[in-house]
Copies of this chain bind each other. A is one copy, B any other.
Amino acid sequence: MAHHPTKTRILDTALHVIRSKGYTATTIDDICVASGMTKGGFFHHFNGKQDLAIAAAQHFGDMADNLVAHAPYQSIEDPLFRLLGYIDFRISILKGSLPQFTCLLGTMLQEVYETHPAIREACNQCINAHASKVASDVALAKEYYMPQASWSAEGLSYHIQAVLQGSFILAKANGGPQVAAECLQHLRHYIELLFEVPQPEENELP
């Protein structure tokens, strides 16, 4: 928190560059050029490339937490509809270029999960922290509407994260977010079915 402004600028740059090129292909010089910094300055703020990755993961987590914490859907009182609001919100931010809305954590995990355990663990903690926040709404909704259900709030929350991560991969494969949005609509539908939300009538047009 309350980082040095230059450090924050480097981290913001890292979020974008790493999401564009992946962790390994991102060079420290890339970050330096894109953030208007020199190598000497970079190594004053970070011990090395792996240190940057770990800090970037936490920075990304902070940014994401902040984004959802202040999203308009948070004012919904019913936890089930707040959960659905979360899904709708995640759909609504599938805009702009792919590096803008894809997940740094998923990107880095894919390449370094075996070679850089420290980065893997940092990403894992950020994902778990985010999943926990979603899980608290899931737990409230479950307790209120489906207290007997056999699935766990944590498990459903991880499923939600899996669909999000998988949607990003399909978006990257396709070059655009349309398929991703459709996948998240299926996720929304699943939650509606799980909680037995009344479905709108299938209108047969005259």
Q: Which residues on A are within 8 Å of B, measured CB to CB?
A: 20-25, 98-99, 105-107, 109-115, 120, 123-124, 127, 148, 150-151, 155-156, 158-159, 161-167, 169-170, 172-175, 179-180, 182-183, 186-187, 189-190, 193-194, 202
Contacts A99-B114, A113-B175, A123-B173 given; 6 further ones with Cβ under 8 A? A21-B111, A23-B111, A25-B112, A120-B172, A164-B166, A190-B193
Option from B25, B115, B164, B180 in Cβ contact (under 8 Å) with A111: B25
Complex contacts, A172 vs chain B, CB 8 Å: 109-110, 113, 120
- Residues from chain B with a CB closer than 8 A to the CB of A180 are 162
The complex is assembled from copies of this chain, and their number is 2
User: Could you tell me the distance in whole angstroms from the C-beta of A4 to the nearest C-beta in chain B?
Assistant: 29
Contacts of A110 in B (CB 8 A): 22, 106-107, 110-111, 169, 172
Helix, strand, loop or mixed for chain A's interface?
helix
- Report chain B residues within 8 Å CB of A150: 202
A124 to B172, alpha carbons, bound, how many Å? 9
Q: Chain B nearest CB: distance from A30 CB in Å?
A: 11
Give the distance in Å from the alpha carbon of A105 to the alpha carbon of B110 in the complex. Answer: 11
Chain B residues whose C-beta falls within 8 Å of the C-beta of A22 in the assembled complex: 22, 24, 110-112, 115
Q: Which residue in B162, B170, B193, B202 is a CB contact (below 8 Å) of A170? A: B162
